[in-house]
Amino acid sequence: MLSKSKPRLLCVWEQGSNAGHLSNLRLPIEIALQLGHDVFVAARELNRAPEVLGGLPVTYLQAPFKQNVMPADHRAFQSYTHLILRQCFSTPIELEMLARAWRGLFDLVQPDVVLYEHAPTALVASHAYRFKKVLVGSGFMVPPVEDGQAGPFLPFITTPRTADVMAALQADDALLLALINTALANMGVPQLPSLARIYTQADQRFLNSLPQLDHFGERLGQTYLGVGSPGAQPAPHWPPGTGPKVYGYLQDIPSLGKLLQDLLAAKVCALLVVRNLPPELKRAYTSDQMHFSDTLVDLNQVASKAAWAINHANINTATVFVKAGIPQLLIPRHQEQLFVALRLVDQGSAVLAYQDQPGFAKEINALMTNTRYHECAAQLQAQCVAAGSKDAADFIRQSFNALLPHI
């Protein structure tokens, strides 16, 4: 057991696979340090910590999480229950082992406050602990749920609301709740009264989103803290060619070659950052019209020049271009990104494409010729400016002081 002289903040990140999860924790960590906390970070991917949290005086721990998850078709996930059963735990014994590992961390650190960034298993393991609990992240990580809510547990916006589907989801909910309570009983921990209690046990929410991009739709009465600005990066170096400037932040997707081919045919001036870019594609398409950057570039500077942008509808990236009033071609890679894409498509500021489709000429042509996308992007930008967002640092500081009034 660690000796304790100051209040302790434990930040946990369990699910997901990009540095944005840690980025959501940076501001709360900075404020906690200013308030005199000792800060501990239990991260899924410790190798990502230096690029986001480097230089901060925190203690790092390895977060427990489900190992060897086989790839799955996320389109089959109709609710949060399906996501948890596939990606977090699938049997009582698996949950029990993970929960015991989490509870071992809690007992070791003895936190006064725990911040959860996409950490469903950690939340289940936290049941019956008396420390303060804060949910952190986008609308997907901080889902809208209330005790006593009728119907299935967090059905996704793409799920049909037919009677048969709703009944099947509620049956799956019952199986998940029984699984969880079997594991908790094996550990001598009080049972959960409902799946909603996984999230409603939280004392506060730091919702890093805008109402217009909330994965589950705008929530009345919810405090939105916005999405943090991207950190400083090198200035973009556009290729010398003519044509509208297009920026892309992408992964290697099945139809990447066709996307590059269609961009070149459209005679745009493209600057692309593509993670895991195959060398043969880089050689084939690098030209005066298309450059590939091996490193991230300053997105605010990109937004000042780009006519439109391409990305996977990651909420952090998409928000930069929403706030700049720039239309987007969105190619989601999983459901969480699809929900952001659908919100922006519904508001007329984006075009949706799929990572395995046979071509992108239609979508590219729409963004280049239909002024409606630019008009809607400007309207959405104005809405975001008008709505504003609460000063995130002030809200977090006040929340910490309310949760721990002795600081």
Kind and range of the H or E run holding 207: strand 204-207
Written as six digits, the tokens of 347 are 């508001």
Q: Are 39 and 58 within 8 A, CB to CB? A: yes
d(CA 107, CA 131): 11
Please tell me whether the overall predicted TM-score, pTM, comes out greater than 0.75 for this model. yes
Range 237-253 burial, b when 16+ CB lie within 10 A, else e:
ebbebeeebbbbbbbeb
For the chain, give the percent of residues with pLDDT over 90: 78
3-class DSSP assignment, residue 141: coil
pLDDT on residue 71: 66
pLDDT at residue number 203 = 96
Q: What's the pLDDT score for residue 75?
A: 63
Helix (H) or strand (E) holding 315: helix 315-323
Q: Note whether 206 and 399 are within 8 A (CB).
A: yes
**What residues contact residue 143 under an 8 Å CB cut-off, 6+ apart?**
80, 154, 199, 216
Contact (Cβ atoms closer than 8 angstroms) between residue 155 and residue 134: no
pLDDT at 265: 96
Token pair of 320 as six digits: 């930069």
**Domains of the chain: residue spans and CATH:** 8-226+390-403 (3.40.50.2000), 245-387 (3.40.50.2000)
| pLDDT tens digits along 160-204 | 999 999 999 999 999 999 999 999 999 999 999 999 999 999 999
Helix axes 20-34, 315-323, angle to 10 degrees: 80
- The band of 73, judged by pLDDT with boundaries at 50, 70 and 90, is low
pLDDT of residue 51 exceeding 90, the answer is no
- Hey, which residues does 251 pair with through a beta bridge? 275
Q: How many CA atoms lie within 13 A of 208 on its CB side?
A: 28
